């Protein structure tokens, strides 16, 4: 079977591309898909299935325990979708962004599954990271923003071309923009924290002290309890009550509100991208961070406007006088990270900030994280299943699953 790849930097509209492929726009060069059974493996398909189940109150894809698709972890969703697709006996499959939202173990299972079926159907792989192209892909297509084919390479030629033409890594410096960050030390302490849901143990005897200005990478396979751990810091998890947890100088459950906690935290998570669909300026997007709101619903102060303009100036010409929706996904993530830190919180939590980004935009976000870390004014918790090139936290907090719930392994990275 023939397998091809389509290189999709973040300037490409994936939904339009998938529609164009299914309408046979590749027929002149590679495939005539008319009359063939095709399936799509993509986060776009994941969202469609969740919407279908919600609208019609029926299960499209269930887990082994018969739980709804929406309640599965991201890795379980991807694996369930892949198994569902191959049960349909497709003649071709569009594989989009294979590595997003999966840990190493799930990715290994997926690769075995794709390899197993590679002789029965053709793959059209859409990928944004150069290193993600499947070994079975024989030819790689580059397309422009109008979805016209601009170049066709063998895989070897494509990889060589990308190495020779890779853009310089961006360098950002924001130290002059941090002025009056509230000081707490330590920011977070957890002693002997254990969490279970019914008979399901999640965390076991967790000890963690997070000090001001530290840069931490939080690791662990899907289902190890990373989201549970973060929710106990952010204030969204009732399991934190009765535990030995101190947040920003106060014992958890001593009369503080959720908003008392959240004012000291800047937070980014991937689904945040879906919440900002209305047309808005970059300046308004950044200003909304002062109010922790999804959109701007109050008249901001002149001071807040001035600070937002300073941040935009620090980013450069390509961010000036633009709508948020005019930016690439990588640029949007940079703006949303700035939105998270504009109020100058002592703690910044970045949950999968580079998911679905191409190589350049991933490096743009990593450069920004390092620029913030180098100020030593804001502590960072960075979460990602990928090992991002150039990302070097001060410490690694790794959750390792056990029969009693995940235990913690703390590693100080060498300098």
Every domain of the chain and the residues it spans? 4-164, 175-412
3-state percent helix, strand, coil for the chain, nearest multiple of 5: 35, 20, 40
Residues 6+ apart with CB under 8 A from 331: 318, 319, 361, 364
pLDDT at 410: 95
> How many residues comprise the chain?
415
**Crossing angle of helices 359-375 and 329-341, rounded to 10°:** 20
Identify the architecture of domain 4-164 in CATH: 3-Layer(aba) Sandwich (3.40)
pLDDT of residue 172: 66
- Which CATH number does 175-412 carry? 3.40.50.300
Q: What is the pLDDT of residue 171?
A: 67
**Taking the CB of residue 375, how many other CB atoms lie within 10 A of it?**
15
Give the whole-angstrom CA distance, residue 156 versus residue 211: 46
- CA neighbor of 244 nearest in space, from 215, 214, 212, 203: 203
Of 79, 77, 82, the C-alpha closest to 94 is: 82
| Model confidence, pTM | 0.87
Provide the 10 A C-beta neighbour count for residue 112.
Answer: 10
Residue 396 Cα distances to 30, 279, 310, 352, 383, angstroms: 46, 38, 33, 15, 10
53, two tokens:
């189940």
**What's the token pair of residue 17?**
């591309």
Neighbours of 298 (CB within 10 A): 11
- The pLDDT assigned to 385 comes to 87
Q: Do domains 4-164 and 175-412 have the same CATH topology?
A: yes
* Rounded Cα distance, 399 and 402, in Å: 10
One pLDDT digit (tens) per residue for the chain, 415 residues: 889 999 998 888 888 999 999 988 887 778 888 889 999 999 888 888 888 877 777 777 766 656 678 778 788 889 989 999 999 999 999 999 898 888 888 999 999 999 999 999 999 999 999 999 999 999 999 998 888 899 999 999 999 999 888 777 666 666 666 766 777 889 999 999 999 988 889 999 999 999 999 999 999 998 899 999 999 999 878 888 889 999 998 998 888 888 888 889 999 987 777 676 677 889 988 998 888 877 677 788 898 988 888 888 877 777 888 888 888 777 888 888 889 988 889 999 999 998 888 888 888 888 888 888 888 889 999 999 888 888 899 999 999 999 999 999 999 887 6
Q: What is the pLDDT of residue 415?
A: 60
């Amino acid at each position: 079977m023939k397998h091809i790849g389509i290189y999709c930097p973040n300037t490409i509209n994936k939904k339009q591309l998938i529609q164009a492929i299914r309408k046979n726009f590749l027929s002149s060069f590679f495939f005539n898909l008319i009359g063939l059974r095709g399936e799509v493996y993509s986060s776009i398909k994941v969202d469609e299935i969740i919407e279908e189940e919600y609208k019609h109150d029926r299960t499209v894809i269930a887990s082994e325990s018969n739980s709804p698709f929406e309640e599965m972890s991201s890795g379980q969703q991807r694996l369930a979708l892949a198994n569902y697709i191959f049960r349909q006996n497709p003649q071709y499959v569009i594989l989009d962004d294979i590595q997003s939202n999966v840990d190493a173990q799930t990715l290994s299972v997926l690769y075995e599954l794709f390899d197993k079926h590679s002789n029965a159907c053709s793959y059209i792989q859409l990928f944004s990271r150069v290193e993600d192209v499947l070994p079975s892909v024989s030819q790689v297509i580059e397309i422009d923003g109008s979805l016209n084919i601009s170049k066709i390479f063998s895989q070897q030629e494509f990889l060589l071309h990308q190495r020779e033409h890779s853009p310089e890594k961006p360098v950002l410096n924001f130290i002059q923009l941090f002025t009056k960050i509230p000081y707490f030390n330590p920011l977070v302490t957890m002693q002997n924290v254990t969490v279970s849901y019914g008979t399901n143990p999640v965390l076991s005897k967790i000890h963690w002290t997070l000090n001001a200005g530290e840069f931490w990478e939080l690791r662990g396979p899907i289902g190890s309890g990373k989201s549970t751990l973060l929710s106990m810091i952010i204030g969204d998890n009732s399991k934190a009550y009765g535990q030995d947890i101190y947040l920003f100088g106060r014992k958890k459950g001593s009369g503080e509100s959720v908003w008392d906690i959240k004012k000291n935290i800047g937070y980014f998570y991937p689904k945040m991208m879906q919440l900002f669909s209305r047309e808005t300026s970059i300046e308004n997007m950044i200003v909304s961070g002062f109010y922790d709101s999804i959109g701007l619903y109050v008249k901001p102060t002149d001071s807040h406007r001035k600070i937002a303009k300073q941040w935009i100036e620090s980013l450069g010409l390509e961010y000036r006088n633009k709508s948020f929706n005019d930016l690439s996904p990588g640029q949007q993530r940079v703006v949303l990270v700035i939105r998270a830190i504009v109020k100058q919180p002592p703690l910044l939590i970045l949950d999968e900030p580079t998911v679905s980004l191409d190589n350049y935009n991933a490096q743009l976000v990593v450069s920004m994280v390092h620029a913030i870390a180098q100020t030593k004014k804001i502590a960072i918790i960075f979460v990602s299943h990928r090992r991002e090139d150039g990302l070097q936290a001060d410490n690694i907090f790794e959750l390792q699953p056990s029969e009693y719930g995940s235990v913690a392994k703390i590693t100080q990275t060498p300098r």
